[in-house]
Structure formats: structure tokens, C-alpha cells
Amino acid sequence: MVLGCNNFEVIDLGVMVPAQTILDRAREEKVDLIGLSGLITPSLEEMSHVAKEMKRQGFSIPLLIGGATTSRAHTALKIDPHYDAPVVWVKDASRAVGVAQSLLSKDLRGPFMATIEADYAEVRRRHASRGDAKPLLPLERARAKRFMPDWSHYAPPQPRVPGVTVFEDVPLTTLRDFIDWTPFFQTWELAGRFPAILDDPVVGAQARELWRDAQAMLERLLKEHWLGVRAVAGLWPAAQEGDDIAVFDPAQPKHRLATLHTLRQQVDKPDARPNLALADFIAPAGHQDWVGAFAVNAGLGLEPRVARFEAANDDYAAILLKALADRFAEAAAEWLHREVRMRLWGYAPDEALDNEALIREDYRGIRPAPGYPACPEHSEKRTIFDLLGAEAAIGLSLTENFAMHPASSVSGLYFSHPDSQYFVVGRLSREQVADYARRKGVPLAQAERWLATNLDYDPD
Ligand code: B12
């Protein structure tokens, strides 16, 4: 949009486009630049692949990199080395115009690229000397330091409604009260917490205008029922098995349905703090513990509406609507988690928390989502989807790189242990990645690609 408003003609190929389609179209249209955007980690690998293909197929046009999951370091280390023509990471869209103009100008390109290359060289130098970073604990030591409550004194809550529960049509008017508006403003690159942001001395006026537009669209959306939201939650008997979680059939508790694989922190912590893995929050066999999973889809009916706005050249309304659908996805995850705590699992039937308290996570239990720092590996979504039957139940599909379609959707796990908490898995040794690959039954190189941003070593 920003480039379009500055006299660049942009050909938008959409999402999950194969490398060859991008390159063929670029040739056909004789484009000046290619841009790639990445929201979740698996896109990072795909970007390196596109860069390699550009080199192999003799391209010489610049490659722009952007999106929430990309970084200067990743671009310098993993993409730039694969392509000889300029590769430039663009921090936010407002800088895209300056970058594109510099790259296309005969006079500016040289000095501009000299600065970028110097910058990347510095990133690579720092990366090469990162051997100075504190060494990680061997896996066995990290495991010995796991979170280990006295399970013999723990009575896991038994669900009131075991197995899978589907919500065909979650009322939008219910979800409205569960919306966390702060990330909505982030989508528009307006920094600050809601509602204080509305009175912010710098961005307040803009935030208020956006807020008014969003409320007006929300009213129409509710009245005319533009969106459908479906949700599914499941609760199964479970047992900790090392860093894995065995998941069983509620009807036949000896029948194993699946294994969830978790990753353990290996940083050497100065004090007695444990080295956590999510599996630590589930009791070992013999204690009748349970694990949960969920998926919500807030994108039903969204695409044709967005297409209508786009056809009318109303990009603002199209983005506003997508951002509202994203808020409904997160609100549905918040609402569903409360349903689970109060009703389905039912361990907190009398919980009485307002939206502020929910946003602060003042309740018992967590819902980590694959891709977030406590479980950075996205392929676990496949297991979650299979357990829930998410495709059939709520019309949510998973691409081969584990992105969910429709985009406005969230999936994750439920833990009920009162001490369960979010944490950052962080850097991983080859030893742990090899162990993880073995547990998942995939080649080491595959696990290394999935965990590319967590590796403490160079896999090549
Ligand atoms: C909104 C959001 C969502 C929404 C919508 C996602 C969607 N519609 O695709 C919802 C709530 C649905 C969601 C779901 C998920 N999310 Co989310 N989400 C975000 C959040 C909060 C903001 C992203 C965003 O829209 N930003 C606003 C846009 C405008 O910014 P942007 O993408 O960075 O792009 C800007 C620039 O980068 C630049 N740019 C972007 N692309 C390009 C390309 C070029 C060529 C150029 C020049 C510039 C450029 O321009 C933009 C404007 O300046 C981020 C956290 C964050 N603060 O970034 C997490 C984040 C992206 N999500 C994350 C995750 C893990 C997920 C889930 C996988 C969780 C789950 N298990 O359910 C799902 C995946 C959904 C899916 N469909 O597969 C992680 C990804 C981490 C990772 N390593 O993979 C993030 C980074 C959060 C985190 N801190 O860990 N998410």
C-alpha cells in the first residue's frame, strides 16, 4: 500500500506462493524489485530458498525482506549470503519507499548498498564471535533441573466434559467483550497500551480517529453478521514422558492417541530456577493428569468481504476489517479458555475476572500456542489439529509450512497446573535438536530447519 501510494506499481501475488511462481511472474512483468514478507518462522526458510533460486536462475534485481518474524540478523546471516545482488531488510513499510528509491537510482544505489553491506558485515562479525556467549547446559543437566513439584501431593483436576467439544457459531456480541485492543493499534504501528493510547501526546489523535473508524465498522459487522467464528477445544488424559507428553483416549485411557513434543531451556541460570519444558507441567503416568488443546477460526466469510473493499479500492477498510477479524480470533481464544476453565475442565467454576484481569492472565493455567517462545516449533500444530479434528470441525486448514488458513485463527495447548507459566525456550544445542528430531521421527536437518531461529550452532 505504501509503495502503491508513492507511484510504484505493485503486483501482489498473495500468500504461500511457490518460489517459481514469484520468479516466473517477476520475469514476465520485468519487475525492478522482488519483495517477500514473513509472519511466522517457516517463512524464513522459504526466503533463503527464494534467494538461492534467484541466484541459480541468474536474477540480478534487488530482493526486499520484511514482516513480523524477519530481522536484520536473519537477513544478513541466512538470506544475503545466498544472492549476489542487493538483499535489504526493511524494518517497517514506511521505509520501503526510501529503500526502493535508493535501489533504483543509479547514483544512490552504490552508497546505499555500501552502508547496508557494512551493516550486515558487522552483524556477521558479531555472530561469528558469539562463541563468547555463555555455554548451554548439557541436555542431561538441564533435564535434571526441570520443574519437579511433589506429584504425590498433587490432585489433577478431572474435566467435566472430556474429549472434543465444538462451538459451531460463537456469538460475536459475546466475543466483543473479550477483545484486547492493544495489538489492534500495533497492527497500525501505533505504539502504546489501550485505552491510554487514545490520550497519548504523540499518537493520540491518530489513535482516536482509528478507534472511531474501527468502532463504526464493528457496529456494521455485528449488525450484518459479516464474520462467523467457530471454535473447538479438547481435553485428554495425559502423562509426562521426559520432555514429551503422552496423550490418551478419554474413552479408553490405555489407548495412546498422540505424543506432544516439547523443548527444554538450556541456558545456565545463575540460581536455583528450573530449566523449563512444557512437559514439566503434566504429571507422570499414574497421576491421572490431563492436557487440553484448542483452535479457533474467526475468518469465516471474511475473504469475500475483504475482496469487495479491495475491488472498490478501499484498502483502508480492507485492512481495518482484517485487523478486526484478528481481534475476534484472539478474543475467541480468550473466551474459549474461560469456557474451559469454568465449564469443560471446570477447575475454576466460580472465576470472576473482568477483561483487564484476563489480559493480565490472572487465572490458573496457560494456553501456549506453537510459534510463541515456550513452544517455538510450528509442526506441533499438526498433532493439535489431528487430535481436535480441526479441519472437519471448524474448517481450519494447515499449509505444508504449518500456517493456518483462514489467517485469522489461533491454536494451542491448555495446561491447568497452578504453577504452569509462559517462558522462553531460547537457544538450543545440537544435542537437544538431535534428540528432538529422534523423538519426532524426522531427520536432523528437518528439525534444524524448523528450529532455525533457536539454534545455538551453525547447522551448515
Ligand atoms: C496480529 C498478529 C496475529 C493475528 C493475525 C495474523 C495474520 N492475519 O496473518 C492472529 C491473532 C490471528 C495471529 C495468529 C498467529 N500468530 Co501472530 N502475531 C500478530 C502480531 C501481534 C502482529 C503482526 C502484525 O500484523 N503486525 C502488523 C504488520 C503491519 O506488521 P508486520 O507484519 O511486521 O509488517 C510490517 C513490516 O514488517 C513491513 N513489512 C512486512 N512485510 C514486508 C515485506 C516487504 C517486502 C517490505 C518492504 C516490508 C514489509 O511492513 C509492515 C508495516 O510496517 C505479531 C507480533 C508482532 N508484534 O509483530 C504476532 C506474531 C507474528 N504471531 C506469531 C504466532 C506464533 C502466531 C500463531 C502461529 C500462533 C498460533 N499457534 O496460533 C498464529 C498463526 C496464524 C496463522 N494464520 O497461521 C509470532 C510469530 C513468531 C514466529 N517465530 O513464528 C509473532 C511474531 C508473535 C511473537 N512474539 O512470537 N497473529
Q: Write the pLDDT tens digit of every residue in 276-329.
A: 999 999 999 999 999 999 999 999 999 999 999 999 999 999 999 999 999 999
Q: 34, 39, 94, 320: which to mutate for ligand 1, most atoms within 8 A of CB?
A: 39
Q: Is 92 in the pocket of ligand 1 (CB under 6 A)?
A: yes
Do the Cβ atoms of 300 and 332 come closer than 8 Å?
no
Q: Is 432 in the pocket of ligand 1 (CB under 6 A)?
A: no
Between the alpha carbon of residue 35 and those of residues 32, 65, 85, the distances in Å are 10, 6, 13
Q: Kindly report the CATH number assigned to the domain that includes residue 53.
A: 3.40.50.280
Mark whether 53 and 144 lie in a shared domain.
Answer: no
pLDDT at site 32: 97
The pLDDT tens digits for 86-108 are 999 999 888 999 999 999 999 99
Residues of the chain short of pLDDT 70, as ranges, are: 131-132
Residue 342 lies in a domain: yes
> What's the rounded Cα separation, in Å, for the pair 181 and 389?
30
pLDDT at site 242: 97
Q: Is 35 in the pocket of ligand 1 (CB under 6 A)?
A: yes
Nearest CA-CA partner of 185 in 201, 203, 167, 168: 203
pLDDT at site 27: 97
> What's the CA-to-centroid distance between 49 and ligand 1, angstroms?
21
Which residues on neighbouring strands pair with residue 228, listed in sequence order? 300
Residue 223: phi, psi to the nearest 5?
-65, -40
Mark whether 72 and 36 lie in a shared domain.
Answer: yes
Residue 190 lies in a domain: no
Domain range holding 235? 139-172+229-302+326-427
pTM: 0.93
Q: Is 370 in the pocket of ligand 1 (CB under 6 A)?
A: yes
Residue 443 lies in a domain: no
Residue 302: phi, psi to the nearest 5?
-75, -45
pLDDT at site 153: 93
Round the average pLDDT of the chain to a whole number and report it: 95
Question: Which residues fall within 8 angstroms of residue 30, CB to CB, at 6 or more apart?
Answer: none
Residue 64 lies in a domain: yes
Mark whether 15 and 119 lie in a shared domain.
Answer: yes
> What's the CA-to-centroid distance between 67 and ligand 1, angstroms?
7
Mark whether 122 and 155 lie in a shared domain.
Answer: no
Which numbered atom of ligand 1 lies nearest the CA of 42? 84
pLDDT at site 131: 64
Q: Kindly report the CATH number assigned to the domain that includes residue 151.
A: 3.10.196.10
Give the count of domains, the chain. 2
Give the HSE-up count for residue 40: Cα atoms under 13 Å, Cβ half-sphere: 22
* Percentage of residues of the chain with pLDDT beyond 70: 100
Mark whether 244 and 270 lie in a shared domain.
Answer: yes
pLDDT at site 389: 98
> What's the CA-to-centroid distance between 194 and ligand 1, angstroms?
19
Residue 203 lies in a domain: no
Provide the sign of the torsion angle of the four alpha carbons 104, 106, 111, 113, taken in this order.
Answer: positive
The length of the chain in residues reads: 460
**How many CB atoms lie under 10 A from the CB of residue 157?**
19
Name the residue with the closest Cα to ligand 1, atom 56. 68
Mark whether 154 and 81 lie in a shared domain.
Answer: no
pLDDT at site 336: 98
> What's the CA-to-centroid distance between 252 and ligand 1, angstroms?
39
Which numbered atom of ligand 1 lies nearest the CA of 325? 12
